């Protein structure tokens, strides 16, 4: 049976996305995003699933940095799931009495207003994942709560004190599945790339973007990440419509490569329709 590595423990949103992707795979729980990648690199898993973008908080930078700097794995597909946060407790208590709230940093941020209004005296403590937060909450000697999904309540035998606590109800997270190869051309694809420049000069990014515009290639996302070499040096990431094997996309890539110092295709994969 093929194995899929995910960011655990059991009950995390990553596990929920993994099951939604393919419920017939054997799932391997990992303690960190780098460990998820290592499982595939070392042959212990066939694929990996990682969060890459949230509709409220934006990009998951640790995933993006790994794609750029530390792995040759390709994006094979993407999946988007709705995120519904709940506040979980181990013992009956009132919201205003809660002293510590555990969760993943993105979950804490996504529920900021709820926490400010309802647990004003609580210290917010970052966890590696939402399900890991429940484990930490259960071990805490303080009156504590954790932000996680409702399934965690039954998995870890805790109580739900509040449901749907996200400040913005339009809360979705995009996950990517990584493998040794990306996907075949389906005709309804996206491609993710990254590149950087050896020297900074006026209009240098414009010259790259102009190539895509002239080929009528739609860019669905543009962002930058520090290169981790020198302050002020950045790597640019682009999601675009089309497959790397499309003639027009391949032609554009060939026009862009002479303009940049590094060019990397992160993968071509089918677009996910919400």
Beta bridge partners of 235: 225
Q: What is the pLDDT, as a whole number, of residue 31?
A: 87
What separation, in Å, do the N-terminal and C-terminal C-alpha atoms of the chain show? 29
- The DSSP-derived string for 212-227 is HHHTTPPEEEEEEEE-
- Provide the residue-wise pLDDT of the chain in tens; the chain has 274 residues: 799 999 888 888 899 999 999 999 999 999 888 999 999 999 999 999 999 999 988 899 999 999 998 889 999 999 999 999 999 999 888 898 999 999 999 899 999 999 999 999 899 999 988 999 999 999 999 999 999 999 999 999 999 999 999 998 889 999 999 999 999 999 999 999 999 998 888 899 999 999 999 999 999 999 999 988 888 789 999 999 999 999 999 999 999 999 999 999 999 999 998 7
The number of folded domains in the chain is: 3
For residue 107, what are the domain limits? 86-162
Q: Is residue 167 part of a domain?
A: no
pTM of the model: 0.87
Q: What is the pLDDT, as a whole number, of residue 199?
A: 85
User: What is the spatial distance between Cα 28 and Cα 18, in angstroms, rounded to a whole number?
Assistant: 10
For residues 130 and 147, the answer to whether their CB atoms sit within 8 Å is yes
Q: Is residue 251 part of a domain?
A: yes
Residues 72 and 91 grouped into a single domain: no
Residues 64 and 48 grouped into a single domain: yes
Q: What is the pLDDT, as a whole number, of residue 56?
A: 85
């Amino acid at each position: 049976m093929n194995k899929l590595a995910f960011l655990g423990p059991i009950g995390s949103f990553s596990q929920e996305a993994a099951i939604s992707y393919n419920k017939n795979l054997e799932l391997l729980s990992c303690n960190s995003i780098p460990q998820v990648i290592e499982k595939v690199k070392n042959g212990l898993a066939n694929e990996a699933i990682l969060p890459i973008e949230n509709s409220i908080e934006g990009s998951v930078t640790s995933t993006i940095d790994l794609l750029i700097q530390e792995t040759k794995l390709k994006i094979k597909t993407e999946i988007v799931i709705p995120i519904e946060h709940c506040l979980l407790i181990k013992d009956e208590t009132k919201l205003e009495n809660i002293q510590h709230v555990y969760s993943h940093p993105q979950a804490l941020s996504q529920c900021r207003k709820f926490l400010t209004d309802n647990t004003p005296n609580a210290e917010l403590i970052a966890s590696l994942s939402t399900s890991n937060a429940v484990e930490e909450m259960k071990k805490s000697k303080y009156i504590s709560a954790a932000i996680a999904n409702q399934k965690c309540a039954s998995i870890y035998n805790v109580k739900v004190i509040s449901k749907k606590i996200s400040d913005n109800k339009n809360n979705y997270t995009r996950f990517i599945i990584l493998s040794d190869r990306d996907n075949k051309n389906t005709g309804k694809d996206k491609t993710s790339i990254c590149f950087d420049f050896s020297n900074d000069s006026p209009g240098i990014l414009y010259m790259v973007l102009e190539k895509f515009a002239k080929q009528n290639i739609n860019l669905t996302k543009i962002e930058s990440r520090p290169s981790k070499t020198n302050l002020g040096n950045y790597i640019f990431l682009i999601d675009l419509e089309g497959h790397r094997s499309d003639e027009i996309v391949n032609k554009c890539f060939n026009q862009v490569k002479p303009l940049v110092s590094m060019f990397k295709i992160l993968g071509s994969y089918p677009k996910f329709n919400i």
